[in-house]
Amino acid sequence: MIENVLALVWQLLASGWLALLDYLAAHVLLCLLPAFFIAGALSSLIPKETVTRYLGPRASKWISYPASAVGGFVLAVCSCTILPLFAGIWKRGAGLGPAITFLFVGPAVNILAIAYTGAAIGMDIALARILLSVLFGIGIGLIMAWLFGDKTGVEADAGLFSQQARVRPTIWVLFGLLVGILVVGTLQVDLLTCTWFSVILPIEIPAGLLAWLEGVHLNLQGALLILMLLVIASAAWAGLDRVMKGFNGWTWAALGLAVVTLLIAAPKVDISSSLVVGVTGRFLGEVVLVGTVVAVAARGLERHELALWLWETWKFVKQIFPLLVVGVFGAGMVKVIIPEVWIQTLAGRNTVWANLVGVLFGVFMYFPTLVEVPIARMFLDLGMHRGPLLAYLMADPELSLQSILVTSKILGPRRTWAYVGLVTIFSTLAGYLFGLALAVL
């Protein structure tokens, strides 16, 4: 009996460890590293007033609802921070409809979640998550306003909704370049994935090291990426944790190591006879874009702007990456426990019931931002249809038990349960329609 328990525990730990190694060594870093920097830039360099001024009671619905839908993207909010922001804009004068749209869409269009979803599961899910979240979020907001009136929590705060802020052209250029790094790192097209030329390095890899790496299911490139992450973590802690008080050598070291990590992940590496580095279009694109970002940031940003950007980026990393590691490890273990037949029976086909099951997974199996992606990947590996999978991803940030309780305190029970019902219906419908579209295509 004890031997069986120990064998199961070992199997769980081994599965979780292999899942974590596979995650850390994968080219998902090409999406996560740029996404963290984009989220930090959005949070620090784009003033909040660029969004909130369009959510006030005097704004046209043609402006307030689209502004609410993209607000989460600009403010880089996640499922844990959307609730206080939602409470703030509603109680300070935003209409109920736009505030509800902001609440629904915000976590779904978070740049980190979208980038990671595209890299780990597929761009079809990522793009559908954006499009359907925006369309259905606006629809839910309009229905809530029709049911309860587009009233505000209290008398409108003119100061919050009348402030204007100008975003300098340099910021938009920098933002576009960062998005370019993300796209070049994740887009699967021949121009980027094919090898333009190869470089043979006069380096002999010890056979013992290669055998050990094979034993732990790693290749040389993946092992090097994991090593770089550990080194970056140490440098970042010393150089970014107090960057608002000043720059030091560790600050520049952390940034340099992040760039090197991107460039290590971009080429193709072959060790059949000697170390052969295949220079891909992805690698060349990353070199050009990263170099341009460095030049624009150095010439166009003030010292305090650069410090704030780095601090916000580091804050996102500290908040999310540890949870992500735990989530990936946990998903690897859970994959051993859950029988595939359960997932295939409940959500293996694109039916209304299967999509509703996906939504219920989101209610009772809530995970913080980004952690829901490896869980969704696990469901997919166990046989879940991509339709119910999308339903789960749309419902997870919105309908967790704790989110329902907090929303009830803000809106009251009647509005909250109406919102929960609408999110359930629309998330189920989103997954079902996406599944039908896949069947047609």
Q: Read off the pLDDT of residues 118-140 as tens digits, 9 standing for 90 and up.
A: 877 888 888 898 889 889 989 99
Q: Band the pLDDT of 275: cuts 50, 70, 90.
A: confident
Q: Is residue 359 located within the same domain as residue 414?
A: yes
Q: Is residue 313 located within the same domain as residue 340?
A: no
Lowest-pLDDT range of 6-10, 177-181, 189-193: 6-10
Domain boundary, last residue among 293, 319, 345: 319
User: Number of folded domains in the chain?
Assistant: 3
Q: Report residue 355 CA to chain centroid gap.
A: 22
Q: Are 342 and 384 in contact (CB under 8 A)?
A: no
Lowest-pLDDT range of 220-229, 288-297, 351-360: 220-229
SS3 label, residue 87: helix
Q: Is the dihedral of CA 294, 297, 299, 303 positive or negative?
A: negative
CB within 8 A of 5, min separation 6: which ones?
A: none
CB within 8 A of 260, min separation 6: which ones?
A: 228
**How far apart (Å, rounded) are the C-alpha atoms in residues 272 and 53?**
59
Q: Band the pLDDT of 288: cuts 50, 70, 90.
A: very high
Q: Are 219 and 269 in contact (CB under 8 A)?
A: yes
Q: Which residue has the higher pLDDT, 170 or 23?
A: 170
Q: Band the pLDDT of 202: cuts 50, 70, 90.
A: confident
Q: Is residue 234 located within the same domain as residue 346?
A: no
- Rounded to the nearest 10 degrees, the angle between the axes of helix 372-381 and helix 386-395 is 160
The pLDDT score that the predictor gives to residue 139 is 92
| Domain span at 368 | 335-440
| Within a domain: 25 | no
| Within a domain: 270 | yes
User: In 215-354, which ranges are E strands?
Assistant: 268-270, 275-280
Bridge-based pairing state of the strands 275-280 and 195-201? antiparallel
| Within a domain: 330 | no
End-to-end Cα distance, the chain: 51
| Within a domain: 327 | no
- Average pLDDT (242-270) is 88
Q: Which residue has the higher pLDDT, 5 or 57?
A: 5
Residue 292, pLDDT > 90, answer: yes
SS3 label, residue 149: coil
Closest CA to 392 of 416, 376, 368, 369: 376
Rg of the chain over Cα atoms, rounded to whole angstroms, equals: 23
**How far apart (Å, rounded) are the C-alpha atoms in residues 100 and 254?**
39
- Cα-Cα-Cα-Cα torsion 416, 365, 126, 88, nearest 10 degrees, comes to 40
Highest average pLDDT, of 55-64, 184-193, 409-418, comes from 409-418
- Which H/E stretch holds residue 199? strand 195-201
Q: Is residue 98 located within the same domain as residue 142?
A: yes
CB within 8 A of 249, min separation 6: which ones?
A: 239
| pLDDT above 90: percentage of residues in the chain | 14
DSSP 8-state class, residue 244? G
Q: Is residue 342 located within the same domain as residue 372?
A: yes
**How far apart (Å, rounded) are the C-alpha atoms in residues 263 and 268?**
11
Q: Band the pLDDT of 90: cuts 50, 70, 90.
A: confident
CB within 8 A of 94, min separation 6: which ones?
A: 55, 56, 57, 64, 68, 102, 152, 161
Domain boundary, last residue among 162, 185, 220: 162
- Average pLDDT (318-332) is 76
| Within a domain: 141 | yes
**How far apart (Å, rounded) are the C-alpha atoms in residues 352 and 341?**
19
- Which H/E stretch holds residue 197? strand 195-201
| Within a domain: 258 | yes
Q: Band the pLDDT of 156: cuts 50, 70, 90.
A: very low
Write down the mean pLDDT value for the chain.
80
Q: Are 364 and 401 in contact (CB under 8 A)?
A: yes
For residue 196, the number of C-alpha atoms closer than 13 Å in the C-beta half-sphere is 11
Q: Is residue 348 located within the same domain as residue 399?
A: yes
The pLDDT score that the predictor gives to residue 287 is 93
Residue 347, pLDDT > 80, answer: yes
Q: Is residue 384 located within the same domain as residue 425?
A: yes
| Within a domain: 40 | no
Q: Is residue 141 located within the same domain as residue 112?
A: yes
Opening angle at CA 233, ends 182 and 40, nearest 5: 40
| Within a domain: 312 | yes
The pLDDT score that the predictor gives to residue 426 is 92
| pLDDT above 70: percentage of residues in the chain | 85
CA distances from residue 366 to 120, 371, 377, 399, 424 in whole angstroms, order as listed: 19, 9, 15, 8, 15
Instruction: State the amino acid at position 7 in one-letter form.
Output: A
DSSP 8-state class, residue 194? S
**How far apart (Å, rounded) are the C-alpha atoms in residues 89 and 57?**
11
Q: Are 372 and 326 in contact (CB under 8 A)?
A: no
Tokens at 342, concatenated:
């359960």
According to DSSP, the residues that pair with 279 across neighbouring strands are: 197
- Average pLDDT (409-438) is 90
Q: Band the pLDDT of 294: cuts 50, 70, 90.
A: very high
Q: Band the pLDDT of 425: cuts 50, 70, 90.
A: very high
What global pTM score does this model have? 0.75
Q: Is residue 314 located within the same domain as residue 384?
A: no
Highest average pLDDT, of 51-55, 108-112, 337-341, 384-388, comes from 384-388
Q: Which residue has the higher pLDDT, 369 or 60?
A: 60
Q: Is residue 421 located within the same domain as residue 358?
A: yes
Q: Is residue 295 located within the same domain as residue 176?
A: yes
Q: Which residue has the higher pLDDT, 45 or 196?
A: 196
The pLDDT score that the predictor gives to residue 295 is 93
For residue 102, the number of C-alpha atoms closer than 13 Å in the C-beta half-sphere is 31
Q: Is residue 147 located within the same domain as residue 209?
A: no
Tell the burial category of 183 from Cβ atoms under 10 Å away from its Cβ (0-12, 13-18, 19+).
middle
For residue 109, the number of C-alpha atoms closer than 13 Å in the C-beta half-sphere is 25
CB within 8 A of 295, min separation 6: which ones?
A: none
Q: Band the pLDDT of 52: cuts 50, 70, 90.
A: low
**How far apart (Å, rounded) are the C-alpha atoms in residues 55 and 102?**
10
